[in-house]
Amino acid sequence: MISVAMTTYNGARYIKEQLDSILNQSVPVDEIVIMDDCSTDETVEIIKSYQDRRINLTVNSTNQGYIRNFYQAIMACKGDYIFLADQDDRWHFNKVEKMLGYMQENRALALCSDFKLIDADGMPLSEEGNYVRNRFFTKIKGNKDVLIPVDFDYLVLGNILQGATYCITKEVQQIYGQIKDFGVYHDHQLLLIAAKLGRLFFVNIPLIEYRIHGENTIGFAKKGDWRVLRKLKFPQLKPAMVQFLDKLHKISPLSHYLWIKVLMYLRLPSFMNIIRTIKPW
């Protein structure tokens, strides 16, 4: 069974285009679990207009926020394979087919893919010299292999790609449910779990079009734009990542965990995050 976990919040402008791209895949999905976080526009009405049995819509009674809402959507999925989806992107016609093939051939527990950038009107955007792909420096995109394994130590210092490209297995979903952490972004948690279990891969081909617009919850920033500091989360006395890793460590013990905790308490990943987000080169 193939599931899609999606969250929505005031996404009326783009939700139809995204749903159409998911519902018309070369390999059909079995369910799309949508958690709407109290939208005040026409998002819910547009979703209901589909009357497609595969769409399972829940409208929250109170606003849950991005991380908690995705937790609800992911945990409500019944599939053996669970794809994550944002409300405003476009999936390539063969995204599910391609990713399932790689997942099954390599017994992967999680997979993320490359993507293309589009603007608010769906037109291609050039990344060269304009946008930061993610807040932590990574050389993974420069690798010429199509399928690239990603290890835990590489990932623990920062997330690699957008959660909107992910596919996970039920095994990862179950551990994610046990941990139930709301301090670290859901997509980073999922990749860390899969990497800890040893079967995480990056597919070095674009399988979605990721939309850049003024209402992105998280995502890209223009290089050298100091305003992104307003969106950065500075760690508490006990860093959120340490709290998450403590829970993961109890389920599946981490090697050299003491050194990882030292790095987190020294705030080195956070400082790298800030510098690499705002630097103009």
Q: In this predicted model, what pLDDT tens digit does every residue of 115-152 receive, in sequence order?
A: 999 999 989 887 654 554 544 335 566 667 889 998 89
20 lies in some domain: yes
Domain range enclosing 102? 2-213
Could you give the angle at which helices 66-76 and 170-179 cross, rounded to 10 degrees?
Answer: 130
226 lies in some domain: no
247 lies in some domain: no
Residue 206, classed as helix, strand or coil, is: strand
% of the chain with per-residue pLDDT over 70: 80
Number of domains in the chain: 1
7 lies in some domain: yes
Query: What is the CATH classification number for the domain harbouring 118?
Result: 3.90.550.10
Q: In this predicted model, what pLDDT tens digit does every residue of 196-208 receive, in sequence order?
A: 998 999 999 999 9
Q: What pLDDT sits at residue 179?
A: 97
Task: Look at residue 278 and tell me whether its pLDDT is greater than 50.
Answer: yes
Indicate the Cα dihedral angle 59, 65, 69, 71, nearest 10°. Answer: -160
Summarize the confidence of residues 91-118 as an average pLDDT: 96
Tell me the whole-structure pTM to 2 decimals. Answer: 0.87
Q: What pLDDT sits at residue 237?
A: 66
Q: What pLDDT sits at residue 270?
A: 65
Q: In this predicted model, what pLDDT tens digit does every residue of 69-92 receive, in sequence order?
A: 999 999 999 999 999 999 999 999
Residue with the bigger pLDDT between 98 and 127: it is 98
Categorise residue 98: left if φ over 0, alpha if ψ from -120 to 50, beta otherwise. alpha
Task: Look at residue 160 and tell me whether its pLDDT is greater than 80.
Answer: no
3-class secondary structure per residue, 70-125:
HHHHHHHCCCCEEEEECCCCEECCCHHHHHHHHHHHCCCCEEEEEEEEECCCCCEC
23 lies in some domain: yes
How far apart are alpha carbons 188 and 179 in whole angstroms? 13
Pick the range with the lowest mean pLDDT from 44-58, 70-84, 226-240, 260-274.
226-240
255 lies in some domain: no
Kind of pairing between the strands at 31-36 and 55-59? parallel
Task: Look at residue 100 and tell me whether its pLDDT is greater than 50.
Answer: yes
% of the chain with per-residue pLDDT over 90: 64
Backbone angles phi, psi at 205, to 5 degrees: -140, 145
Compute CA 263 distance to the chain's CA centroid, rounded to the nearest angstrom: 24
253 lies in some domain: no
State the maximum Cα–Cα separation within the chain, in Å, rounded to a whole number.
Answer: 52
35 lies in some domain: yes
List beta partners, residue 56: 33
Query: Which pLDDT band, with edges at 50, 70 and 90, does 67 fall under?
Result: very high
Query: Which pLDDT band, with edges at 50, 70 and 90, does 94 fall under?
Result: very high
